């Protein structure tokens, strides 16, 4: 089962990251040529998931400033993560009108963290003009745009049911976690809440199951000990999720728009 790792107090600077990883494109909006096909690192994985490894993530310094872009594959190799390579991500928590949270179980085809239960949607904004931002307000707009895109791609949720203006940005978490010996995550993860009644049609290449849960039902899933969860979801649950959830219909204002990055 995946575990999170303690973050090193000595984090490489942007200049050091660029020197360590010459493949980083400092023009974050520049298109790249697909490179993951016939890649020995990806041999044996699902064809569609291999294709998605060519997507271009936003590479960051430790303060969430974009310094360039690199492929999803480059950003998720543990050998790169262990040298300090860091990228931007988001985690969506979607609640219905009964205040139940939509969970998903990741598909077996996923290259990182397959089969694990997690929050509604977890993914990465792309290094494109619509999804990249340097200032916090621009970055929030970018990850929210990406969230709408991924909710439709993974869960079949129509964009009209999750309009951008309904999302609430709470905070950012910085964490590192291995998936297996080769792959992992090292992200600054934007936490997004949205309350909406939606139609769900899982993309089986991304999601193998979904479940709507109350706080009590989620706590019971953890206590049961039979299910495995993603490390970022566990971190969020162990820290603030249930407190945020309690204030979903009143008092959430006090938690929104946090500027300090939470180092997990």
Domain residue ranges in the chain: 14-29+45-263
- Residues making up the chain, counted from first to last: 264
pLDDT of 39 reads 81
Question: Given this structure, which CATH class describes domain 14-29+45-263?
Answer: alpha beta
Beta strands in 43-86 (DSSP E): 56-60, 66-71
- CA neighbor of 132 nearest in space, from 58, 64, 72, 188: 58
Q: ∠256-157-226 over CA atoms, to 5°? A: 80
The pLDDT of 98-111, averaged and rounded, is 97
147, 198 contact by CB (below 8 A): no
- CA neighbor of 111 nearest in space, from 62, 56, 162, 41: 41
The pLDDT of 92-116, averaged and rounded, is 97
pLDDT single digits (tens) 21-69: 888 888 755 444 445 555 888 989 999 999 999 999 999 999 999 999 9
pLDDT reading at 74 higher than 70: yes
Give the separation between CA 60 and CA 62, rounded to whole angstroms: 6
What does 118-129 look like in DSSP terms, one character per residue? ESSEEE--BSST
pLDDT reading at 8 higher than 70: no
Average pLDDT, the chain: 92
pLDDT reading at 251 higher than 70: yes
Active site residues: 122, 187
Tokens of 220: 């019971």
Handedness of CA 36, 42, 43, 44 (dihedral sign): negative
Give the separation between CA 20 and CA 86, rounded to whole angstroms: 12
pLDDT single digits (tens) 182-200: 999 999 999 999 999 999 9
90, 142 contact by CB (below 8 A): no
263, 64 contact by CB (below 8 A): no
Q: What is the pTM of this model?
A: 0.90
Q: Provide, rounded to the nearest whole percent, the portion of the chain with pLDDT above 90.
A: 82
pLDDT of 36 reads 53
- CA neighbor of 234 nearest in space, from 247, 218, 245, 246: 218
Q: Provide, rounded to the nearest whole percent, the portion of the chain with pLDDT above 70.
A: 92
Q: Report residue 185 CA to chain centroid gap.
A: 9
pLDDT single digits (tens) 220-232: 999 999 999 999 9
The pLDDT of 203-214, averaged and rounded, is 98
pLDDT reading at 264 higher than 50: yes
pLDDT of 9 reads 43
The pLDDT of 106-130, averaged and rounded, is 97
Give the separation between CA 56 and CA 66, rounded to whole angstroms: 13
Phi, psi angle pair for 11, to nearest 5°: -100, 135
pLDDT reading at 70 higher than 80: yes
Give 124's pLDDT tier (boundaries 50, 70, 90).
very high
Give 104's pLDDT tier (boundaries 50, 70, 90).
very high
- CA neighbor of 187 nearest in space, from 71, 69, 81: 81
Give the separation between CA 171 and CA 189, rounded to whole angstroms: 8
The pLDDT of 85-98, averaged and rounded, is 98
For 213-228, letters b (16+ CB in 10 Å) and e give eebeebeebeeeeeee
């Amino acid at each position: 089962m995946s575990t999170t790792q303690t973050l090193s107090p000595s984090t490489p600077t942007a200049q050091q990251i660029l020197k360590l990883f010459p493949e980083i494109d400092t023009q974050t909006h520049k298109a790249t040529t697909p490179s993951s096909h016939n890649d020995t690192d990806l041999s044996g994985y699902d064809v569609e998931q291999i294709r998605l490894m060519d997507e271009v993530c936003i590479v960051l310094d430790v303060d969430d400033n974009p310094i360039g872009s690199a492929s999803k594959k480059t950003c998720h190799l543990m050998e790169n993560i262990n040298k300090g390579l860091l990228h931007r991500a988001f985690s969506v928590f979607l609640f219905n009108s009964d205040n139940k949270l939509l969970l998903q179980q990741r598909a077996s085809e996923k290259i990182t963290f397959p089969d694990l239960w997690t929050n509604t949607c977890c993914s990465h904004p792309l290094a494109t003009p619509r999804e990249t931002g340097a200032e916090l307000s621009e970055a929030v707009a970018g990850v929210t745009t990406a969230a709408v895109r991924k909710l439709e791609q993974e869960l079949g949720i129509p964009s009209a049911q999750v309009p951008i203006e309904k999302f609430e940005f709470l905070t950012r978490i910085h964490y590192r976690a291995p998936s297996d010996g080769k792959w992992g995550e090292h992200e600054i993860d934007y936490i997004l809440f949205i309350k909406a009644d939606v139609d769900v049609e899982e993309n089986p290449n991304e999601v193998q199951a979904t479940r709507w849960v109350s706080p009590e039902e989620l706590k019971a899933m953890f206590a049961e000990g039979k299910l495995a969860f993603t490390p970022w979801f566990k971190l969020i649950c162990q820290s603030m999720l249930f407190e945020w959830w309690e204030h979903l219909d009143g008092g959430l204002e006090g938690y929104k728009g946090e500027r300090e990055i939470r180092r997990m």
